[in-house]
A and B are shown apart, each in its own frame.
Chain A
Amino acid sequence: MGKIANEDVLAKISAKFADTVTVVGEPFGLPTLETGREQIIDVLGFLKNDPVLQFIYLTDITAIHYPEQEKQIGVIYHLHSLVNNLRIRIKVFLVDGDTNIPTATDLWNGANWMERETYDFFGVIFTGHPDLRRILNVDDMTAYPMRKEFPLEDPNRVDKKDYFFGR
């Protein structure tokens, strides 16, 4: 258990950001918030710099794709308060086609790598990132392979066709 209860953390956030940040739930004791891209950097900065909360460690930035939702692309931030032994998760959902979100590299240098990876796999554009280009995939790749519309298997592959197996 952390030094601060989850309820106190959420109370502090809602006191500061009122209705721009909504609490989605607390699965497995992990408080999960949802906010918009307009105030995401303010929220992250508040959580990092608040003298009590001290969410100083950016565990991960990643994304998720829900094709059935209106706002398809979700960017997810995981923060860790090493002092209070607390974790928190913040989600921002973006419309496909306008996946711009401000960069978190001004708060954490470690965000540089994570944002490049998220751009590489989901096509999320982090505005203000110093060097937003592909990091894991080949440079000339044109697709974003973790999106649901990307085919799971390579369409050029022939040795798995049904007629080789009498199907």
Chain B
Amino acid sequence: MSDIKLVDAPAGIEGAGFFATAADKVLGLARANSLWPLPFATSCCGIEFMATAASHYDIARFGAERMSFSPRQADLLMVMGTISKKMGPVLRQVYIQMAEPRWVLSMGACASSGGIFDTYSVLQGIDEIIPVDVYIPGCPPRPEAVLDGFMLIQELVKSETLRRRNEPKYQKLLASYGIQ
């Protein structure tokens, strides 16, 4: 027998030949287990992410096998490394090009706060220009921490309502960043 663990079905009403549950739970389950990340790797955190994606830690176990290098097809923007102020507009453009639903993961001290680079040329945290869902602390974080951060994103995705972008709270958040 195989010991592959499958995700449990969401709670619902089951009967002979039918299973009824909420659509957003099913969609959340599907989205959470097939997230396509866009690795925006600029420095050493990117190297750590490569280890996470390689066979030893294998982020593919969580359904993130397919790295998307086009923002149009990506669900999750993984920002890993120092973002200089000159790179800021590029990162923002990549975020704007992503289709809804979209999530952002900020990996490491530099992406989250500027890290040791408290200087004129470095953006002091990517949350100055785009909204962030999960921050991973560390300099750089170990692959286990990256997987933990990714699993937190999965939990967010599962509990997301079907049309997050129509919510006033979400629209207000984006408006505070001047997006849309």
Spell out A's residues near B (CB within 8 Å). 136-138, 141, 143, 145, 150, 152-154, 156-157, 159-160
Q: Contact between A145 and B118 (Cβ–Cβ < 8 Å)?
A: no
**Interchain Cβ contacts under 8 Å between A and B, 30 examples:** A136-B121, A137-B85, A137-B86, A137-B120, A137-B121, A138-B85, A138-B86, A138-B88, A141-B85, A141-B120, A143-B120, A145-B120, A145-B121, A150-B120, A152-B118, A152-B119, A153-B118, A153-B119, A154-B114, A154-B118, A154-B119, A154-B120, A154-B124, A156-B124, A157-B113, A157-B114, A157-B118, A157-B124, A159-B113, A160-B118
Whole-angstrom CA separation of A117 from B86 in the bound complex: 15
Q: Report how far A154 CA is from B120 CA in the complex, Å.
A: 7
Chain B residues touching A, majority SS:
loop
Q: How far does the alpha carbon of A134 sit from the alpha carbon of B85 in the complex, in Å?
A: 14
Which of B119-151 touch A at CB < 8 Å?
Answer: 119-121, 124
Interface residues in B, total, Cβ within 8 A = 10
Q: From residue 77 to 127 of chain B, which have CB atoms closer than 8 A to chain A?
A: 85-86, 88, 113-114, 118-121, 124
Whose C-beta in chain B lies nearest to the C-beta of A159? Answer: B113
A159 CB contacts on chain B under 8 angstroms: 113
CB distance from A148 to the nearest CB of B (A): 13
CA distance in complex: A141, B119 (Å): 13
A151 → B minimal CB distance (Å): 9
Residues of chain A lying within 8 A (CB to CB) of residue B113: 157, 159
Q: In the complex the two chains form, what is the Cα distance from A141 to B120 in whole Å?
A: 10
C-alpha gap A128/B121 in the complex (Å): 28
Q: How distant is the Cα of A137 from the Cα of B85 in the complex, in angstroms? A: 8
Complex CA–CA separation, A85 to B121 (angstroms): 37
The interface residues of chain A lying within 8 Å CB-to-CB of B85 are 137-138, 141
CA distance A136 to B87 in the complex (A): 12
Question: Quick one: closest A residue to B123, CB to CB?
Answer: A154
